[in-house]
Structure 1
Amino acid sequence: MAETRRITFFIALTLFAQEATWNFYDNQVPALLRDHVASAALIGVLMGMDNLLGIVVQPWIGNRSDHTRTRWGRRVPYLVVGMPIAALLFLLLPWTPSLPVLIVVMVGYALVMNTMRPLAEALTPDFIAPERRGRTNAIVKIATSLTIIVASLISLFVVDDHPRAAFAIPAVILLVVTVALVAKVRDNQSPGYRAAVAADEPGAPPSPLRAVVAELVTSRDRRRVLLLLTVFLFGGAWFASRSLMTPYGMEVLALTRGEAGGLTLPSGVAFLLAAYPAALAAERFGRLRVIAAGMTVFAAALIAGALVPSATGTVVILCAGAAGAACFAINAAVALWNLAPSSRMLGAYTGLYAVTWYLGGFAGPALIGAAVDLLGWRWMLLDTAVPALLAVLVVTRLARLQKAHESTPATA
């Protein structure tokens, strides 16, 4: 138990350091771009580049690390090299003299950091037993959510007086955590790594990512595909509910831009408060059942908000919805790790989860936006509830397959 807590602390610390730079990047790099670019659309494209890189890079590096064998393990060697490089690139951002140089540094930083994120996340299934992964993931989610506050505080108290030096704070955090990781963590001691080494066949080449995806798609066991479909659908609903909330508040609730932008703030607190209980509930009642219940609460909250639109009511339903979303966010990745065919694929499945989530985040706001164009802003919350309800139906089907699989293991 003490070892589990120690590893959980270092996983959370590593992802905290990574997300601290990401959130400060999102806060301040648009201002750097404005010094060179007048078009808000172009700034948006450049800022969205990291997500496009993530779709390609994260599954690839996850799969590559699955087949890495060193005396330090399979994830940590990449982390101890990549995190200092990312810190250096991050430090260079405010010193770039021209737009082309800034873009090159942005691409370099986004490329390196997209390789680091799935590696750090994959340490959870490497080290933590399946029945305790939800608790660790909850602590990690809480830690990474706190980086939003850290980035905001740096922006508030440092950026105006020291705009370049402010970038050093997240970079130093990243470097200090790298040193701690080198000193305290060797994932060659993890159960996941040992199981992967034991499963290695002498002389067998590593399985490429396309082979992992082909096995996933062609397998008669549809549970993993259904879970990824759930991630896509609910990811679309979640991102739509966040990204379209400000114009909804202005158009339907007659709020100012600032007031509408603050609608989601209390729900962020609700998400944090619900994260760890969501993990405990999954251990008691079953992970898929808690995921389904959480998504149902999310959809029901949106439907209630659509029927009775008011500023106060919207804040309340967003808080309820965020608590429901926490049940999904804490447990969905864990469910996918637990369904992975082998510990030799945990990194690849971590990357596939991220890609599916990103694709949902891209498609959801676009599709809900199209529905708004047809039906008007008045029904935006109701539109957003639709993919969430579809996700509930999919995970309900998944739960039935899981029950059948558990009752007939010999034929699964």
Structure 2
Amino acid sequence: MSGSTVLWVALAIFAQESVWNFYDAQVPAQLRNFVSSATVIGLIMGLDTGLGVIIQPWMGLMSDRLARRRSGRWPIVAAGACVAAVPFALIPWATTLPMLILCVFAFGLTANSFKGVTETLISDYVAPQQRGRAQGFIKAGVSLTIIVSALISLLVVDRSLKAAFAIPPILMVIMVGLSYRILGRRHTTALRRADAGDEQADPFSSPWAVLKDLVQEPSRARLLLMAGIFCFAGMWAALRSLTTPYGTEVLGISRGAAGGIALPGAIAFLICVVPLAYLSHRLGELRMIRYGIALFIAGLLVGYAEPTPAFTAVSVAIASIGYAVFSVNGLVTLWSLAPNNRVLGAYTGLYTVASASGMALGPALLGVTVDLTGWRYMFLNAALFGAVTFAVFTLVTRRSARTAPTAS
């Protein structure tokens, strides 16, 4: 595994994630200038998720067709970054709600068109057995985008909102351009390595063909893995969304202090993600995901057993390490079960469909249990959902043993 290759791919992914993090942090506040309803703001902010579910599998399959050409997937990434930068930078210039929604829609449409494609780039340059470790470094870099977004918000937003919205897309275009210039030269060599032993005709001409193969695959391992991705992503989104109100309702602390409970978890994620990637390479991705779920559940039970600010922070930190295991291995595992190397972009899109759907529904599902049992039992309820997820991944492990994937 070339360290410089991983660095340049990570830089491209870091660039796009910096834009998305700033978008999630500041666009709701921008919408508040025109809309007072939190429900409406939430619906508008969920627009990009819906667009991603529709667009990313199609764009992933299109990138798979380009991947065997000299330029590879890069034209989609480079063009997408340049086009998406425009509506993003125009967001603070919107003086009416229709103009703002148009900018949001245009950004969501164009940014989702290359988001999954960028994440698939690592599969073009890194051998299958090394992709998990590469993902560890990439996820560590992505976690830093939260810090970058926070610094821009802290240092620039109050001085010039228009400048603040211009910085992330400019950085994205520059970083993607640099990555394209460096890695574009190496694509032909990477292509020969990826195609070694994979000369069969490609039967997947559309996303429907990919989905048909996914559903009809005898062991159902890929379909179960999609269900597991949905569950784990949903659990994580629910924990992130409801920890702050849990802190105010159960722990009796302020909103700011409750929001700070997630900080130890973010630090734990950053510290552990790369070592966990190397450990996953030794023990196996699916086995490590099951260990990660078990650790996630253990963290939740710690928080339930002792509802104090300190123990809750420890609980979230332990759960974050468990999620880090999944974050490193989830996409790599789905790639390893793909029918061949020629549909990895489409499978990245399917991963997005599963994870985005889970993140959209997870907070609502956990919220229903909170309404039924009360906030005091939130961590216990989440642990029960975790047990279901563990059972799903246990089935995936057993059934994937019957499958002989050609992609790894």
TM category (shorter chain) comes to over 0.9
CA distance in 2, matches of 1:282, 1:238: 20
1:276 to 2:274 alignment: yes
Give, in angstroms, the shift of residue 11 of structure 1.
Answer: 1.0
Give the counterpart of 2:308 among 304, 307, 310: 310
The answer on whether the counterparts of 1:58 and 1:351 sit within 8 Å (CA) in structure 2 is: yes
2:190 maps to 190
Q: Does the 8 A contact of 1:126 with 1:346 survive in 2? A: no
Distance (Å, rounded) in 1 between the aligned partners of 2:255 and 2:205? 50
State the partner residue of 2:359.
Answer: 361
Aligned match for 2:50, one of 49, 52, 71: 52
Q: CA deviation at 1:36?
A: 2.0
Q: Match for residue 386 of structure 1?
A: 384
Deviation (angstroms), 1:37: 2.0
Match of 1:399 among 385, 397, 400: 397
* 4+ aligned runs moved over 3 Å, structure 1: 69-74, 191-194, 196-201, 402-406
> Which residue number corresponds to residue 199 of structure 1?
199
1:252-283 per-residue CA deviation (whole Å, 9 max, x = no partner) reads: 11111111111111101111111011111111
**Larger deviation: 69-78 or 355-364?**
69-78
**TM alignment of 1:85-100, pairs within 5 A:** 85-100=83-98
Show CA shifts across 1:61-86 (max 9, x none).
11121123674433101111111111
Is the contact made by 1:333 and 1:353 (CA closer than 8 Å) also made in structure 2?
yes
TM-score (ref. length: structure 1): 0.93
Tell me how far 1:34 sits from its aligned partner.
Answer: 2.0
Residue-by-residue CA offset, 1:233-258 (whole Å, 9 max, x unaligned): 11121111111111111111111111
Report if aligned partners of 1:73, 1:189 keep a CA contact under 8 Å in 2. no
Q: What does residue range 185-334 of structure 1 map to in structure 2 within 5 Å? A: 185-186=183-184, 187-191=187-191, 195=195, 199=199, 201=201, 207-334=205-332
CA distance in 1, matches of 2:359, 2:183: 33
Change (3 A) 1:405 1:64: closer
Task: Indicate if the aligned counterparts of 1:76 and 1:185 stay in contact, CA closer than 8 A.
Answer: no
CA contact (8 A) 1:125 1:346 kept: yes
How big is each residue's C-alpha offset from its partner over 1:303-331, in whole Å with a ceiling of 9 and x where there is no partner? Answer: 22112211111111111111111111101
Among 163, 166, 183, the residue aligned to 1:165: 163
Structure 2: gaps (5+ residues): none
- Residue type matched to 1:99 in 2? L
SS in 2 for 1:244: helix
SS of 1:50's equivalent in the other structure is helix
1:19-48 superposed Cα distances (whole Å, 9 cap, x missing partner)? 111111122222222222222222221111
Paired with 2:239 and 2:214, the residues of 1 have a C-alpha distance of 30
> Which shifted more, 151-160 or 303-312?
303-312
List per-residue Cα deviations over 1:378-407 (Å, max 9, x = no partner): 11001111221111112122222333446x
CA contact 1:196–1:344 (8 Å) conserved in 2: no
Q: Could you tell me how far apart the structure 2 residues matched to 1:197 and 1:91 are?
A: 45
Structure 1 match to 2:12: 14
**Partner of residue 68, structure 1:** 66
Which amino acid letter does the alignment assign opposite residue 84 of structure 2? A
Instruction: Check whether the contact 1:84–1:178 (CA below 8 A) recurs between aligned residues.
Output: no
Please tell me the residue identity of whatever aligns with 2:87: L
Residues 217 and 405 of structure 1: is their aligned pair in 2 closer, same or farther, counting only changes over 3 Å? closer
The 8 Å contact of residues 67 and 73 in structure 2, kept in 1 or not, is answered as no
* Amino acid aligned to 2:195: A
Unpaired runs of 5+ residues, structure 1, are none
Distance of 1:173 and 1:197 partners within structure 2: 39
Identity of aligned residues (%): 42
C-alpha spacing 1:87/1:200, structure 2 compared with 1 (3 Å): farther
Contact 2:124–2:194 (Cα < 8 Å) also in 1: no
